[in-house]
Amino acid sequence: MGRVGYRITRQTGSHIRLTLDADTRHHRTIPAHQPLKVGTLAAVLNEVCARLQVDRAELLQRLGF
């Protein structure tokens, strides 16, 4: 997520907290499970897309997918 401005700010157990330092700070906690459930991944992507005001295709391109 570093490619879109998020950085890991802490990890507690099996969850990682990502922070975006933009105009206003945004935090997102995600599970560090392998693999992520499809619904969980979709929710994270949707939230990041909304925050960055980009569509999913552009976000995935920025992430290298």
Q: What pLDDT digit, counting tens, does each position of 8-28 carry?
A: 999 999 999 999 988 778 899
Please report which confidence band the pLDDT of residue 46 belongs to, taking 50, 70 and 90 as the band edges. Answer: very high
C-alpha triplet 64, 58, 4: angle, nearest 5°: 65
- Bridge partner list, 31: 15
* The total number of residues written for the chain in this structure: 65
> pTM of the full predicted structure?
0.80
